[in-house]
Amino acid sequence: MRKQGIWLNISSRNDDLSQLIEEYSEQFNLSKADTVAEILRAYPKLLAYKHRVMEQESRSFGRIFSNAV
């Protein structure tokens, strides 16, 4: 049985990504494939966190200027 694989082709305009993956894989002490998998798994959590922070900032911004009129 053959292993399935996904190839990541990085264009020349994004050539810094290969260096970033290398740095993160050393930092996480993981293979490059596992590093990319960890980043992809963390991405939805990052988006949810960003959304919560933006909502909190919007609420606090509204409180600051609610008495301005």
Q: List pLDDT tens digits, range 4-22.
A: 778 888 898 998 999 999 9
Residue 24, in any domain of the structure: no
Q: Tell me, what's the pLDDT at 3?
A: 76
Q: Please tell me the pTM assigned to this model.
A: 0.66
Q: Is residue 14 assigned to a domain?
A: no
Separation between Cα atoms, residue 22 and residue 34, nearest integer Å: 11
Q: Is 29 left (phi over 0), alpha (psi -120 to 50) or beta?
A: left
Which domain, by its residues, includes 59?
Answer: 38-69
Cβ(34)–Cβ(6) below 8 Å = no
Q: Among 46, 23, 47, which Cα is nearest to 35's?
A: 23
Give domain status of residue 13, yes or no.
Answer: no
Q: How many domains does the chain have?
A: 1
Within-domain flag for 1: no
32 inside domain: no
22 lies in a domain? no
pLDDT at 69 over 60: no
